[in-house]
Structure 1
Amino acid sequence: MILKNILCLVVMLIAGFQFSACAQESDAQGKLVIIGGGSRPAAMIDRIIKESGIDKEGYGIILPMSSVEPDSAVYYAKMQFTKVGINNVHGLQFAKGERLGSAKLDSIKKAKLIYISGGDQNRFMDIVAGTTAEKAIHEAYENGSLLAGTSAGAAVMSKMMITGNELKHPEYASTFRNIESENIELKTGLGMLNNVLIDQHFVKRSRYNRLISAVIEHPELMGIGIDESTAILVIGKSAEVIGESQVIVFENPDRSKTEKNGKLGAQGLALNIYLPGDSFTLK
């Protein structure tokens, strides 16, 4: 482990802020709550509070940079906690290119709960990627903080991130219309999880086509589609479903891929549907 940490440090020094792989390899003490969007049931908020421990000590912060209206995002995210008597959760936002002082960085590093709002995952990563703030988020997680995110805040959790854009069809649609090659756009997320791909609003918006396309073209990834009002609580390599609906998991264990006229085919894909209370093991 010591040798591994030294190697990771060397990689970080060479590559700047490319620290997510090192974080994943170490023995992180933190937890993740990855929410598929929509409303957050009271029981889910209670679980976030319990797992983070902010009802006993410390504080939480809300990072609203995914939203075009960050003040509103902070207001509504904070309200779900104040309604149950938790008043130690506060907003913390910054702009692209802003040099964060030690006070803001310490606020991130020492937070017991970091909550990332919904909006646009590309906007969030455009502001946070490669910054001291991203490093501070990883440090907090490594030291035991709970990192939660909803909708866009869920998408950023994986190292390879679904942007929501179709490369072959630039006009936006809430779901992909086809299972076709070279259409899904992936970018780099926070990298809290390296070998999975997170999709959100999954059942409500029928986003099967894009996640199926992703696991065919990237068979090393486990595709996890989380429905609205539903989340996975990740502790180590274990994911527990919490909330009201389902989590759909696609895998391509045989790395199968065929293609004809731009359409993708595959055999032996694995599909599992998990209900609240179920658990599964991450790749």
Structure 2
Amino acid sequence: MMLKRIVLLSLFLGFTIQSCAQNLDAKGKLFIIGGGSRPASMVDRIVKESGIDKEGYGIVLPMSSSIPDSSAYYATNQFYKLGVNNVYGLNFVKDEVLTVSKLDSIRNAKLIYISGGDQNKFMDIVQGTAIEVLIHEAYENGSLIAGTSAGAAVMSEMMITGSELKHPDYSSTFRNIESENIEIKSGLGLITNIIVDQHFVKRSRYNRLLSAVIEYPEIAGIGIDESTAILISGKTMEVVGESQVVVFTNPDKSKTTFNDKLGAHGLIMNLYLPGETFKID
């Protein structure tokens, strides 16, 4: 019976992983939070956009955290404080044998909320599994996928890991704008034309995001500050929360170097405030 389940799951993955990248017509929305505290108005917006105040339920995926039980507790508690009690923690571990009931819990969730921590840890657990496939499926079928901090970083196809290739000692912001320094790995790929950075204004992460848009000029760099989010519906992005969203683009695909230092001409920076909307082509 177990062998049969593994074979069926393998067939399922082989069929759907190829199609899950084709999410241009997804009916769902993305709610990407830059970390920090979530004001009650922001949590309420998540509830309203997902529709779990009317029907269905939400789940919290806490796998980014080194203490997933605590992470799930604090994430669900922000909803409980608003009287929304139909949000539940759902943890997975690496190489877990995935039960049908847990997979169905992802597939049928109207809200999937990815907590903070380490985005590399989250992707190490979900990448190439039915978990990843079902997050895509839920998004395509109309669910709201939300994430904060590390949960924000995993949303895009190209994911900032937080590490510098040339400077192994971690720093919350890059000290230089250097070539071949920013480490990029594969995220969930729910959106493909942006790369997300979080805690942005609070931690002055400009060097990091500038490095990204110079090295990878085909994407836009979106820096989201703490207690702030972007709500993506179709091609429209709305700023929600208390602070700013910074968007860097490199329309001329400009890149110059001098002794490993990066240069570029014609970069565009836009700074958006709560309530404003914008689009990325």
- TM class, shorter-chain normalised? over 0.9
**Aligned-residue identity in percent:** 71
Q: Report 1:64-213 matches (<5 A).
A: 64-213=62-211
What TM-score does the superposition give when structure 1 sets the normalisation length?
A: 0.93
CA distance in 2, matches of 1:281, 1:18: 27
Q: Do 1:20 and 1:190's aligned partners in 2 also have CA atoms closer than 8 Å? A: no
Q: Do 2:50 and 2:110's aligned partners in 1 also have CA atoms closer than 8 Å? A: yes
Q: Report 1:239-250 matches (<5 A).
A: 239-250=237-248
Q: Cα–Cα, structure 1 residues 136 and 244, in superposed 2: closer, same or farther, change >3 Å?
A: same
What TM-score does the superposition give when structure 2 sets the normalisation length?
A: 0.94
Match of 1:7 in 2: none
Instruction: Give 2:185's aligned amino acid.
Output: K
Q: Deviations over 1:158-194 (max 9, x none)?
A: 0000000000000000000000100000000000110
Q: Do 1:237 and 1:281's aligned partners in 2 also have CA atoms closer than 8 Å? A: yes
Aligned pairs, number: 269
Match of 1:21 in 2: 21
Instruction: Give 1:21's aligned amino acid.
Output: A
Match of 2:249 in 1: 251
Matched, 1:263 2:261: yes
Q: Cα–Cα, structure 1 residues 13 and 91, in superposed 2: closer, same or farther, change >3 Å?
A: closer
Q: Do 1:166 and 1:172's aligned partners in 2 also have CA atoms closer than 8 Å? A: yes
Instruction: Give 2:122's aligned amino acid.
Output: F
Task: Give the superposed CA RMSD.
Answer: 1.2
Instruction: Give 1:120's aligned amino acid.
Output: D
Which secondary structure state, in structure 2, belongs to the residue aligned with residue 22 of structure 1? coil
Instruction: Give 1:88's aligned amino acid.
Output: N
Instruction: Give 1:96's aligned amino acid.
Output: K
Instruction: Give 1:116's aligned amino acid.
Output: I
Which secondary structure state, in structure 2, belongs to the residue aligned with residue 231 of structure 1? strand
Q: Do 2:119 and 2:161's aligned partners in 1 also have CA atoms closer than 8 Å? A: yes
Instruction: Give 2:182's aligned amino acid.
Output: I
- Work out which of the residue numbers 43, 46, 51 in structure 1 matches 2:44: 46
CA distance in 2, matches of 1:184, 1:227: 20
Q: Cα–Cα, structure 1 residues 20 and 269, in superposed 2: closer, same or farther, change >3 Å?
A: farther
Shifted more, 164-173 versus 96-105: the winner is 96-105
Instruction: Give 1:218's aligned amino acid.
Output: Y
CA distance in 2, matches of 1:18, 1:96: 22
CA distance in 2, matches of 1:187, 1:154: 14
Which secondary structure state, in structure 2, belongs to the residue aligned with residue 50 of structure 1? helix
Q: Report 1:200-239 matches (<5 A).
A: 200-239=198-237
Instruction: Give 2:256's aligned amino acid.
Output: T
Q: Do 1:159 and 1:188's aligned partners in 2 also have CA atoms closer than 8 Å? A: yes
| Structure 2: stretches of 5+ with no match in the other structure | 1-12
Instruction: Give 1:175's aligned amino acid.
Output: T
Q: Deviations over 1:234-277 (max 9, x none)?
A: 00111000000000000000000100100000000000000000
CA distance in 2, matches of 1:220, 1:227: 23
Q: Deviations over 1:195-217 (max 9, x none)?
A: 10000000000000010011001
What is the CA-CA distance between 1:21 and the residue it aligns to? 2.8
Which secondary structure state, in structure 2, belongs to the residue aligned with residue 55 of structure 1? coil
Q: Do 1:20 and 1:191's aligned partners in 2 also have CA atoms closer than 8 Å? A: no
Instruction: Give 1:199's aligned amino acid.
Output: D
CA distance in 1, matches of 2:270, 2:102: 41
Q: Do 1:225 and 1:249's aligned partners in 2 also have CA atoms closer than 8 Å? A: yes
CA distance in 1, matches of 2:88, 2:74: 11
> Where does structure 1 differ by over 6 angstroms across 4 or more consecutive aligned residues?
none
CA distance in 1, matches of 2:21, 2:82: 37
What is the CA-CA distance between 1:13 and the residue it aligns to? 4.7
